[in-house]
Structure 1
Amino acid sequence: MSFQLKTYQAPDFTLPRFTEAPEAKLEPAPFDRVAPDGYHATTIFPEYFKVGGRWLLAEESRMDCVAVYENGKICVREFRNLKQGDMVFTGRTENAEDGIYVYPDGFSEFSGNAADGKDGQESFAFRQSRSRETAFSRDYDNIYELLEYEKEHGYVAWVLGPACAFDADSRAAFSKLVMNGYVDALLAGNALATHDLEGAYLKTALGQDIYTQHSYQGGHYNHIDTINKVKYHGSIPAFIEKEGIDNGIIYSCVKKEVPFVLVGSIRDDGPLPEVHANVYEGQDAMRKCISQATTVICMATTLHSVATGNMTPSFRVMSDGTIRQVYFYTVDISEFAVNKLGDRGSLSAKGIVTNVQDFVVNVSKGLKL
């Protein structure tokens, strides 16, 4: 196996910048769900806080939260989960001036060094963005190697939009990924699960044949008929068993006991019984999976991709105390959707502009499934 994780290079805390830095300041939360003035908002990067002369890492981080000092550790907490009296770190600087250090350079991925392939690169050069003109051949090779590595050593969370279920080949390809151990969690909405189950139950997605794309007479009933039948049986696993479902993305997750988190939308039909109608309960369920993830791959879902990106740090502290990089890919046929993730702060996300149905088929083939 040629894949190797990048080694995390911790900051040198013997430098004067750190030894002479003041202690980080703490202020109590004035009310439930309210941070004190001047609170420090966390990022996707490793962040250290100087407490008692030591620089402590916030191990379970996520973007746009606050850091709370509790039982000798740094806890990163959503504003909605703050309790009155929680001791919250304050300070808006990020280079140790306030006893807070945000560290984007722990992995060469973010430091602009030779491992990025940019060392000595001219300041002016063509085709430096990732767009529809980008050649993604090397990215595919990296993904094959990464997934082979993660199958044995990591946790891969996939975030899927409904387009992934609209095609027979992409449904079959992703099912192979699930059945062969390359999927540890699936995050999606009501639509992905509905149309995938519709494909297994009625061989259509939104009333179109999943292979020929032929629209059936009355096919607009098919997705709500599917939802209705699932609700009749009480759950997705019961529907799969009672209706003899034997294919598809959700079927494979149920068969392999891969957790799937479905979070609802204001526009949902039904929805399916397992869909979280409360958005914050859904966010908590998503974060439970993402807190374990070492690789995240988002396909054809802008809102779920941004939501996942907001809760995914660029690093993970492993059980043995080592710090490793979290790999994040976003795949969409729209450059807007791919670029939006970076615009919303997920700076470590790598975009691939392509048809997601082709992407997942290529990944399955590249892994020789």
Structure 2
Amino acid sequence: MTPSQPATEVVEAEGHLIDSQLMNAMFDTVVRHDGAFEVLEFRIGRTNDEPSFVSMRVTASGTPALDSLLAELVTLGCRVARAENAHVVPADRDGCAPEDFYSTTNHQTSVRLNGQWVTVERQRMDAVIVVEKGAGGTDRAVCRKLREIRKGDAIVCGVHGIKIVPEFQARDRLGFAFMSNEVSSERRVEVGVARIADMMRAAKKAGDRIAFVAGPVVVHTGGGSYFCELIRNGYVDVLLAGNALAVHDVEQALYGTSLGVDLETGRAIEGGHRHHMRAINAIYRAGGLRKAVESGVLKSGVMYECVKRNVDFVLAGSIRDDGPLPDTIMNLVEAQDRYTAALQGVKLVLVLSTMLHGIGVGNMLPAWVRLVCVDINPAVVTKLADRGSSQTIGVVTDVGGFLHHLAGALKEN
């Protein structure tokens, strides 16, 4: 049997390669694939703004091994040096892509079409890139989920003609040390809260939208009133949550309890275990959350403030939900689509004690959207911080106390 011939390709990368540990990651990737590399050119950026550049020849045992290696190098920001257009193959049936379709990351991506680099729209991870005609007949590239593919769609395949720009770690380490994806429960919460409050003020000053992804713990820990304060002060443009947040928020508004526990005294109320079911029943009788507010049935709470302030809220259901509320979307595909639509144009996301919805939203976001995860469990914060973005901030603390500090910090100045 004739042994396969070694295959080689020249790749390039540009950016803050050393600060962000991308250079080491590239070398490690080649070695892990039993390949070899030769650095042809390396220029180190001399200022905070000047990027570094590397050109290297990578070699693998054969073409299949090289293709596998290149696919992983592309996710680290490498691009094939040869100026080739992206390889586009039509889908042969609905919901299915060609076998070698390119699976996206959450980093900014461009594809080469007709000799021009075109920025991919609706960037997100775990999607395919579809090429279609835009206004004026120009080519545009758009991320789509597998289920959105239709027969005949032009799907980008392979790794040629694809360029990724990873989010780089800032070189201004002193000024932006907090803006890292390190997770620690040993930092003063007030310091983190002050920085996050500054980010929120800056976002509103720039006209950007802020989204919150919240779990029922917001209500259980007594943070509901502080969250309402954020809504009234215009810091919440989008609320994404599950059925439980709304149910226990309504329970607290109608009966003063959450899971049957009096939030003022911390004591379980006799018969309190029925309160959340009575809350669901009351909203059903009113015809939904909006009608409950309009009719005066619901007079306070997070959902009340969202309705009164026209905050865009989406409630996504799950298999464990009681009720659910009439506003809760139990169709998973519809809920994902509504979440995705609500997140368009959002530049800052705060995830408050909800691993399920938080990770789901994290997967929908491009890497350049800043994401703050607040949870008492360090493992949850770490999972979100590992989504591949240097823009992720983890705060390990009680969410009720966090909201208390945040509402106070936003009152200052």
Contact 1:309–1:346 (Cα < 8 Å) also in 2: no
In the alignment, residue 161 of structure 1 is paired with which amino acid? G
Question: What is the Cα deviation at residue 20 of structure 1?
Answer: 3.6
In the alignment, residue 88 of structure 2 is paired with which amino acid? L
Contact 1:112–1:118 (Cα < 8 Å) also in 2: no
C-alpha distance after superposition, 1:312-363 (max 9, x if no partner)? 1023xxxxxxxxxx21111100011111124454564221111111111111
Which of the residues 184, 202, 211 maps onto 1:157? Answer: 211
C-alpha distance after superposition, 1:281-308 (max 9, x if no partner)? 0011111111221100001000100000
2 CA distance for matches of 1:343 and 1:314?
A: 11
Question: What is the Cα deviation at residue 30 of structure 1?
Answer: 1.8
Identity across aligned pairs (percent)?
A: 36
C-alpha distance after superposition, 1:226-281 (max 9, x if no partner)? 00111111111222333443221111101101011000010000000000010110
Please name the residue that 1:181 is paired with: 234
Name structure 2 gaps, 5 residues minimum: 1-48, 57-78, 134-138
Question: Could you tell me the TM-score, scaled by structure 1's length?
Answer: 0.84
Contact 1:49–1:100 (Cα < 8 Å) also in 2: yes
Which stretch of the first structure deviates more once superposed, 281-290 or 15-24? Answer: 15-24
SS of 1:367's equivalent in the other structure is: helix
Contact 2:204–2:235 (Cα < 8 Å) also in 1: yes
Please name the residue that 1:336 is paired with: 379
Please name the residue that 1:79 is paired with: 146
Bigger Cα Rg: 2
| Higher RCO, Cα 8 Å, sep 6+ | 1
Residues 311-330 of structure 1 mapped to structure 2, 5 A cutoff: 311-315=364-368, 326-330=369-373
2 CA distance for matches of 1:284 and 1:158?
A: 17
2 CA distance for matches of 1:11 and 1:37?
A: 35
Question: Could you tell me the TM-score, scaled by structure 2's length?
Answer: 0.76
Which of the residues 338, 350, 354 maps onto 2:393? Answer: 350
Contact 1:162–1:195 (Cα < 8 Å) also in 2: yes
1 CA distance for matches of 2:189 and 2:263?
A: 27
Contact 1:144–1:363 (Cα < 8 Å) also in 2: yes
**Cα RMSD (Å) of the superposition?**
2.6
In the alignment, residue 156 of structure 1 is paired with which amino acid? I
1 CA distance for matches of 2:52 and 2:183?
A: 33
In the alignment, residue 251 of structure 1 is paired with which amino acid? Y
Contact 2:385–2:394 (Cα < 8 Å) also in 1: no
Contact 2:203–2:209 (Cα < 8 Å) also in 1: yes
Please name the residue that 2:71 is paired with: none
1 CA distance for matches of 2:214 and 2:188?
A: 23
In the alignment, residue 115 of structure 1 is paired with which amino acid? D
2 CA distance for matches of 1:287 and 1:210?
A: 34
Q: How many residues align?
A: 333
Residues 53-72 of structure 1 mapped to structure 2, 5 A cutoff: 53-71=115-133, 72=139
Name structure 1 gaps, 5 residues minimum: 1-8, 105-109, 122-127, 316-325
1 CA distance for matches of 2:81 and 2:184?
A: 44
Please name the residue that 1:322 is paired with: none
Please name the residue that 1:206 is paired with: 259
Please name the residue that 1:139 is paired with: 192
